[in-house]
Structures are given as structure tokens and as C-alpha cells.
Amino acid sequence: MAGKDRILVLGPTGAIGRHIVWASVKAGNPTYVLVRDTPPTVNKPRLVTAANPETREELLQNFQNSGVFLIQGDMNDHQSLVNAIKQVDVVICSFGRLLIEDQVKIIAAIKEAGNVKRFFPSEFGLDVDRHDAVEPVREVFEEKAKIRRVIEAEGVPYTYLCCHAFTGYFLRNLAQIDITVPPRDKIYIQGDGNVKGAYVTEADVGTFTIEAANDPNALNKAVHLRLPANYLTLNQIVSMWEKKIGKTLEKIYVPEEEVLKQIKESSFPNNYLLALYHSQQIRGDAVYEIDPARDVEASEAYPYVKYSTVDEYLNQFV
């Protein structure tokens, strides 16, 4: 039996990248990460603080102790990037939103290396070819869509991972601004609360990403994470939370006009988060039909994967 593909993760110490690394190790894929000699010195604003206790140094040491290969290199050093890519079969990028356009450098290195079987660009959100988001989120989605077009034009084999709503962004506070746990008195709900959204833990994103990386049927397709137990309206989730705490919350439904006004008047990161919530809760950007010619529904393709449900996730806050 042939060995499993060698996987290189770019952005391995981020909130998503670290979970992709651990999932790759668990699946038995030879796992490589690209690390700079020195960490970045610029403090970039974050949407949410990742619930990950390790420092970058501790995490890299844990990777190494688990058999992960650390390759010194830099995205801005073309030759070091080519040299790293030549050692692997699959490249998975998990860069943050500020580095989306820089992925053209990765694509150029993949083309020069000539050996990559699959490239996962940094998407890990909704399907950027199926959205009706507003600014400031729209610009980021359009940047991701442009990267898709470059990949396709260059003939680079790919998989797009569409996982929709991270629990850390959407469920930790039930999509409320400026709180870190689910509310126990009142809740603001965009729209009527009856539009379905798709939720997934960051760890499960890692698991499904590696499942897709090892799946030949996911080649040149988008893999969608709309897990049955987690494909819910916000009203359904709030009801689930109320049963857990034995209390009915005061519900304040915010019409779209007011939401759009709040987005325009807020500063980062609140405007970005509000626009993400608006995309899912009002515009319904997680609601669409699967096209078997270009899409894979993860729950159908990998039914054996046991994922964390919304119900289970909320138990930690009771």
C-alpha cells in the first residue's frame, strides 16, 4: 500500500492552522510546517482571541515532539518556499485575512516546484462564489474569489474548504458583540432568527480538511461543512441554550436596515463581525444547493467523522 501524502501547512500556529497540523498528524500523514526564523513583529488586530493556551514557541516544540517536520522559510523568500514545496505532495494555506492576496506567491512557487497534487488556499469560511455579504467582509471574500481564479487559470489542482461559521466567532457568545460567553438575560438577533447557518468547531475544521486532502474525489472541488446537527437557525440555538440554563431570554430582533447602520457606524473588529453575522443570519449565505459536479458535502462524503455538535459545544458554558 502506498504511503499517505506529505502535507505542508502554511500558517501553522494560527487559530485554524494548528488544528490542521494536529489532524494531519492524527491521520498519519507525514506533516510539514513552514516557520520563519523569527516570528512576525507586527501586532495585527484579531477578530477573536483564540482559545489556545500555547505560545508560538511551545506549539512549535509540541509539533516537533509529535514528529512534525519544521522547515525554515518565508513566504516572501521565493526560493525557500519552492524548496519547502518540493518536499511535499499537498499544500494547505491557513493565512489570516490580511495575507489573502499574498497567496499568488504560493501559487507561483507551486508552479515552479511542479510536484504538488493539491493546493488548499486560505478560505475556511463560506463559499466565496456564493455570497451576498456587505463591506468590510465583501472585500475579503472577493480577494479569496480572485485567488480561486488565479489557481484555476494556472491549472493548479485544488480543493476549496467551505466551513462557514467557526464556533469561536459565532457560538461562544451566540453572535453577540463585546461578550465572550452566551448571554443569560437578553439577546440581539439579526433579522427574524429563522435563517439557517452552519457551525463547526475549529478542531473539526482541521479534521475535515485532512479528510478532504486524503480524498481523491475532492480534487478540483469545493468541500462544504454543513453538518446536520449544526445546520441550525439562531432561534433554534437560542432555544437550545434556554433549555440548558432553565431560563427564557429576552429576544430583541434587529431589522436589516438597523444592522446595516450598525455595521457602517462601528469600527474594526465589530463592523467585521457584524457583517459576518449579517451574511449568515440575514442574507442566508450558508443556504444553497450542492452541485455534484463542483461540490462535495462533507457530512455525506465522510459520515464516519464524529464531530462536535452545537448542543455539546454549549455545555461548557452552562
Question: Residue 251's domain is classified under what CATH number?
Answer: 3.40.50.720
Alpha-helical (H) ranges within 6-52 are 17-27
Asked whether residue 1 is domain-assigned, the answer is no
Structural contact between residues 174 and 234, judged by C-beta atoms closer than 8 angstroms: yes
**Model-level pTM?**
0.95
**Tens-place pLDDT, residues 188-245:** 999 999 999 999 999 999 999 999 999 999 999 999 999 999 999 999 999 999 999 9
Distance between CA atoms of 43 and 246, rounded to whole angstroms? Answer: 41
Neighbour-count burial of 297, counting CB atoms closer than 10 A to its CB (0-12 exposed, 13-18 middle, 19+ buried): middle
Distance between CA atoms of 222 and 206, rounded to whole angstroms? Answer: 15
Distance between CA atoms of 172 and 151, rounded to whole angstroms? Answer: 34
Structural domains counted in the chain? 1
**Tens-place pLDDT, residues 117-168:** 999 999 999 999 999 999 999 999 999 999 999 999 999 999 999 999 999 8
Angle at 182 between CA 176 and CA 186, to 5 degrees: 70
Question: What pLDDT band is residue 36 in, cutting at 50, 70 and 90?
Answer: confident
Q: How many CA atoms lie within 13 A of 129 on its CB side?
A: 16
Strand 90-93 relative to strand 165-166, pairing: unpaired
Q: What percent of the chain has pLDDT over 90?
A: 92
The DSSP string of 169-195 is: HHTTTTS-TT-SS--SSEEEEETTS-S
Alpha-helical (H) ranges within the chain are 17-27, 56-65, 78-85, 103-113, 137-154, 167-170, 202-213, 234-245, 256-265, 270-281, 298-301, 310-314
Residue ranges making up the domain that contains 285: 7-317
Distance between CA atoms of 317 and 285, rounded to whole angstroms? Answer: 28
Asked whether residue 191 is domain-assigned, the answer is yes
Asked whether residue 141 is domain-assigned, the answer is yes
Asked whether residue 202 is domain-assigned, the answer is yes
Question: Residue 160 to residues 123, 205, 209, 252, 311: CA-CA distances in angstroms?
Answer: 7, 12, 9, 36, 27
Indicate which residues carry an active-site annotation.
144
Asked whether residue 244 is domain-assigned, the answer is yes
**295 against 51, higher pLDDT:** 295
Q: How many residues does the chain have?
A: 318
Asked whether residue 26 is domain-assigned, the answer is yes
Asked whether residue 39 is domain-assigned, the answer is yes
Asked whether residue 174 is domain-assigned, the answer is yes
Average pLDDT over every residue of 167-174: 93
